[in-house]
């Protein structure tokens, strides 16, 4: 076979995708003194095929802008087109917060696409308020200022008439080549994310991410901003109907059949998240393969229903893809979760927003989450490892996501290791080493066997859960992020998250993120496991650098004696001191200030496997039975 043309087509396509992006505006809209040009704060660039085109906006009806005429006047639309596309009469009044589709004629003004509309300044208005309240993020304070030549130091006065440029764009040549004809400027609301918005308008999530220069890793979108949604056909009024949240059922009502419509919608949302990206890439390749085979005129038609075409053509590949992407993830009805958790009663609450439930006779941990969970679901769905807590299902209700996890009966490691615990939970030496090895193995999997590599970023003893055999499983991957670049390389983050005391110095000081961040934290965790003390206590007690404390055990004359006092007294000396010294060395190397000197998780797994083997031998020869005394908790 001759692959060269195919490769050329695909690489050209990738190149053109890069050209097609209109960078997402992010939160820049909130800072009127900033006018960085690295985002689309002043408008979307005129990079389209045509300088003028039909485009669409969305708008949420609000008094006084709640009628066909008021909305058309505010946004420079044609009232008859607006009423037609929303399937309402010309004098209709929209319910508050109803999503209205606004057809507009979008054109280039110099560098940017825009629709000019005018606005009369009212009392107490600021440019930020104008952009975000009446215009809902369809304009920005920066672009209004530029359009009207307002100096940053100038004020605006009631009665001033401002020209307000609205954000719109025309499809690029490349988008048009794959069948897109319109761009919708969607006004993002609280609780939206790219997958749900795309799904709603029948768009492909991957394509929407691309159109906004967003990535699967950084898909977060913010209220008061616009997201461009590429469309093959004009949007329709049916897409503006938000499934109403089902009324909260009175407690202990028998389960009634679920509302088919809303149910279906959120199933689509979930499937959208999971399948969207995979679709994007697969359809992408197929499309180009296809356009190679067929003539150009045919290929456009082929894009009308890519999914359906695909199904006909390669049913096996398709079902394979679904099963790899969605794997064993189950979509639960919210009612099922209510029944499982006794309607989320306090007695089922494990901690915070995590509940224990019984589903089909099995325990499950159910976590309620506000906001964007697409990252966590994407990651959890990709990982499958016995040392990572497994996500078994999801549910959505009334703006909240519910993630259903496997349940670890023995709860968090923190309940077991801190020697001041009250309910007699105790781990012997070998159990501690086994758990440390479990955690190291899980992290090694995240670092070396996920693509891209992921960094957990919030490892701590309360995020390690113990199953019925006291084997460790890592939970709470909510903060995990991909480590761009190779192992050891760094990426920068400006949002310092995670737990104090556990965090590596390079992260606290400079926001550097690499897999070596987890290695440092693992060192701190191992120290806690060894000493039975919380990290905070470790720092304040010794009142100095942890590494100095450890080195003193290794180098000073009475070091080993002091080490015995340092190690968890509840073990009453029942451990091989030689191995403890070995672990202190390992911890010391994990805590190295220079990340490049820290071992990799793979090195650590190997060291700990050897330690475990030696510990088991030591245990047998000392007649200590490892797993009998405490095999179950709670």
Ligand X SMILES: *[C@@H]1O[C@H](CO)[C@@H](O)[C@H](O)[C@H]1NC(C)=O
User: Catalytic site residues?
Assistant: 458
Using DSSP's 3-state secondary structure scheme, residue 67 falls into strand
Burial class (CB in 10 A: 0-12, 13-18, 19+), 35: middle
Nearest CA among 100, 92, 155 for reference residue 126: 155
Phi-psi region of 561 (alpha: psi -120 to 50; beta: other; left: phi over 0): alpha
Instruction: Report helix angle 546-555 to 535-542, nearest 10.
Output: 70
Whether the link from the prior residue into 356 is cis, omega within 30° of 0, is: no
Nearest approach, Cβ of residue 7 and ligand X (Å): 14
Contacts (Cβ under 8 Å, ≥6 apart) of 109: 116, 165
Please, which residue, 209 or 274, has the CB nearer to ligand X? 209
Nearest approach, Cβ of residue 453 and ligand X (Å): 18
Supply the DSSP symbol for 179: T
Nearest approach, Cβ of residue 226 and ligand X (Å): 13
Supply 414's token pair: 């923190």
Nearest approach, Cβ of residue 150 and ligand X (Å): 12
Rounded to an integer, what distance in angstroms lies between the CA atom of residue 307 and that of residue 270? 17
For the chain, the maximum distance between any two Cα atoms, rounded to a whole number of angstroms, is: 91
Nearest approach, Cβ of residue 200 and ligand X (Å): 18
C-beta separation of 283 from 307 below 8 A: yes
What residues line the site for ligand X (CB under 6 A)? Answer: 12, 15-16, 19-21, 23, 31, 33-34, 47, 49-50, 53, 107, 109, 114, 116, 123-124, 128-129, 132-133, 147, 163, 171-174, 176, 181, 190, 213, 223-224
Nearest approach, Cβ of residue 359 and ligand X (Å): 35
Using DSSP's 3-state secondary structure scheme, residue 260 falls into helix
C-beta separation of 474 from 464 below 8 A: yes
C-beta separation of 83 from 124 below 8 A: no
Nearest approach, Cβ of residue 34 and ligand X (Å): 3
Rounded to an integer, what distance in angstroms lies between the CA atom of residue 361 and that of residue 288? 48
**Residue 488: count of CB within 10 angstroms of its CB:** 13
The residue number with the shortest CB distance to ligand X is 16
Nearest approach, Cβ of residue 223 and ligand X (Å): 3
Please, which residue, 21 or 86, has the CB nearer to ligand X? 21
Beta strands in 258-344 (DSSP E): 330-331
Supply 336's token pair: 């099922």
- Helix-strand-coil split of the chain, %, nearest 5: 45, 15, 40
């Amino acid at each position: 076979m001759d692959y060269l043309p195919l490769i050329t087509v695909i690489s050209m396509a990738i190149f053109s995708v890069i050209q097609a992006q209109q960078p997402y505006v992010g939160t820049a809209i909130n800072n009127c003194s900033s006018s960085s040009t690295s985002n689309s704060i002043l408008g979307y660039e005129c990079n389209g095929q045509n300088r003028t085109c039909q485009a669409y906006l969305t708008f949420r009806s609000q008094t006084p802008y709640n009628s066909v005429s008021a909305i058309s006047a505010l946004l420079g639309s044609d009232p008859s087109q607006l009423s037609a596309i929303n399937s309402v009469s010309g004098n209709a009044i929209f319910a508050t917060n109803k999503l209205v589709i606004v057809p507009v004629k979008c054109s280039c003004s110099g560098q940017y696409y825009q629709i000019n509309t005018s606005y009369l300044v009212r009392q107490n208005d600021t440019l930020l308020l104008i952009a975000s309240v009446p215009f809902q993020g369809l304009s920005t304070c920066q672009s209004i200022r530029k359009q009207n030549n307002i100096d940053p130091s100038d004020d605006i006065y009631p009665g001033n008439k401002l020209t307000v440029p609205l954000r719109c764009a025309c499809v690029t040549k490349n988008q048009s080549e794959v069948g897109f004809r319109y761009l919708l400027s969607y006004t993002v609301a609280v609780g939206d994310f790219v997958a749900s918005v795309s799904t709603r308008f029948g768009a492909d999530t991957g394509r929407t991410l691309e159109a906004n220069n967003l990535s699967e890793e950084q898909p977060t979108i913010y209220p008061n901003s616009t997201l461009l949604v590429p469309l093959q056909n004009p949007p329709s009024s049916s897409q503006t109907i938000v499934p109403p949240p089902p009324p909260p059922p009175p407690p202990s009502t028998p389960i009634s059949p679920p509302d088919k419509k809303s149910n279906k919608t959120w199933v689509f949302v979930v499937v959208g998240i999971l399948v969207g990206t995979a679709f994007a890439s697969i359809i992408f390749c197929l499309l180009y393969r296809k356009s190679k085979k067929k003539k150009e005129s045919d290929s456009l038609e082929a894009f009308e229903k890519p999914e359906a075409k695909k199904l006909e053509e390669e049913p096996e590949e398709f079902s394979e893809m679904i099963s790899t992407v969605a794997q064993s993830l189950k979509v639960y009805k919210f009612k099922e979760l209510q029944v499982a958790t006794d309607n989320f009663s306090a007695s089922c609450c494990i901690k915070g927003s995590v509940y224990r439930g019984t589903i089909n006779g099995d325990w499950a941990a159910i976590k309620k989450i506000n906001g964007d969970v697409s990252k966590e679901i994407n990651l959890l769905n990709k990982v499958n490892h016995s040392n990572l807590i497994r996500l078994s299902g999801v549910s959505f209700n009334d703006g909240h996501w519910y993630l259903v996890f496997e349940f670890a009966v023995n709860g968090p490691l923190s309940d077991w290791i801190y020697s001041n615990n009250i309910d007699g939970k105790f781990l012997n030496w070998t159990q501690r080493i086994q758990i440390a090895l479990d955690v190291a193995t899980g992290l090694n999997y995240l670092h070396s066997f996920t693509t891209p590599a992921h960094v957990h970023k919030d490892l701590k003893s309360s995020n390690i859960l113990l199953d019925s055999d006291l084997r460790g499983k890592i939970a709470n991957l909510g903060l995990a992020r991909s480590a761009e670049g190779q192992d050891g390389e760094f990426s920068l983050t400006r949002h310092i998250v995670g737990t104090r005391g556990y965090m590596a110095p390079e992260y606290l000081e400079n926001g550097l993120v690499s897999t070596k961040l987890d290695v440092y934290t693992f060192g701190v965790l191992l120290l806690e496991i060894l000493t039975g003390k919380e990290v905070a206590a470790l720092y304040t007690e010794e009142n100095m650098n942890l590494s100095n404390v450890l080195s003193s055990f290794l180098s000073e004359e009475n070091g080993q004696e002091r080490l015995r006092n340092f190690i968890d007294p509840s073990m009453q000396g029942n451990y091989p001191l030689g191995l403890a010294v070995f672990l202190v060395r390992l911890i010391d190397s994990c805590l190295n200030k220079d990340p490049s000197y820290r071992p990799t998780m793979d090195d650590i797994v190997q060291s700990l496997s050897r330690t475990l083997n030696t510990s088991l031998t030591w245990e047998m020869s000392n007649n200590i039975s490892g797993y009998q005394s405490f095999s179950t908790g709670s």
